[in-house]
Each structure stands twice: as structure tokens, then as C-alpha cells.
Amino acid sequence: MDPMNSEKSLERDVPVRPQGPALDAVDDPGHEFAMRFTSSRRGARLARRLVSHRLDTWGHPYGSVINEEVTLIAAELCANAVRHGHVPGRDFHVRLTEVAGTVRVEVTDTRTERVPSMACPEPPGDAEVGRGLLIIARLAMRWGVAPRTGAPGKVVWAECVAVPAR
């Protein structure tokens, strides 16, 4: 089975109204990419690659700071959705938007009882896991967790300022 054909996609280059208090008053047209992925390492890898590709098509070339940062954030959020938010038979969803110079990535999973802590404690120096949210907190302008609307689960999101490419 071809994973590109098994995923559900929504792509629009139309006016978008991302959720969140900082973006509620925005009326500028923007970009949106949304897709559902299988809750597996393969799905997380595909999501990361498609986020980077979409940013490139929106004018944030591969290797640019915003492309690298948002792709890393998306990779961490997707890995967390697969590792901590996995429910057998359920997918995770990625939504990428850009409005008024702010790029927002949202990853939705169906687990409600495992909500990430906003405190982001430092893991022990020799720990091999536990740094994903620290990376997100340091790279993102803002990040947070919200309940999923219309279904059980949560949305973990992060926002970055898109600096124009030079």
C-alpha cells in the first residue's frame, strides 16, 4: 500500500483563521495544509517531510531558519503523538497554517488523559528521552495544549514568526 495514497489531505491557499488568542483578529489571507497520518513512526516521518515541503512551496526554502525550526517542532509533536497519544486504530492529524507572518503547527491525537506539562522540566543529563518539549519551548514563540473540538483528544500547537527569506 502506498502511504501517500492512504493519508487524507486538505490543502488550501485561501484566507485562514487559525485558532488562538493572538490570531483571532487577523484578516490577512494565508496558507493552510492539513492531513491525517497513521499513528506510526512512518506516519510521523511523512508528516515531518510534508511540513518541510509545504513550507518550501510557501516561500520558506529548505534550509531556511523558519523551515528548519518549524519542521523540527512538527517532528517532535508528531513523535509525541505517536509515542504518547497513540490509540490503536486512530490516526493523528497535522495542521500547518501561515497567517500574517506567523506559522502555526498543530498536532491532534485522540488521547485525553496524557496531556503534556507546560513546565518542561530538564531531564537528567544522561537520559535519552524527554527533551522534545524543551526543544519546542525554546524554538517556538508560543506553544500550548487545548482540548480537541468535536471529538475526544487534544491539540498540541506551536507558533513561530516567519522571517522573510533574504
Does the residue 36 lie in any domain? yes
Q: How far apart are CA 125 and CA 35, in angstroms?
A: 36
- Expressed as residue numbers, the domain containing 125 is 3-19+28-161
Greatest Cα-to-Cα distance within the chain, rounded to the nearest angstrom: 47
- Under the banding of pLDDT at 50, 70 and 90, the label for residue 128 is low
- pLDDT score of 5: 42
Tens of pLDDT, residue by residue over 59-113, are 999 999 999 999 999 999 999 999 988 888 899 999 999 999 999 999 999 877 7
CATH number of the domain enclosing 64: 3.30.565.10
Q: How many domains does the chain have?
A: 1
Question: Do the beta carbons of residue 80 and residue 94 sit within 8 Å?
Answer: no
pTM for the model stands at: 0.78
Does the residue 124 lie in any domain? yes
Does the residue 135 lie in any domain? yes
Q: How far apart are CA 76 and CA 62, in angstroms?
A: 18
Tens of pLDDT, residue by residue over 14-45, are 344 444 444 444 455 799 999 999 999 999 99
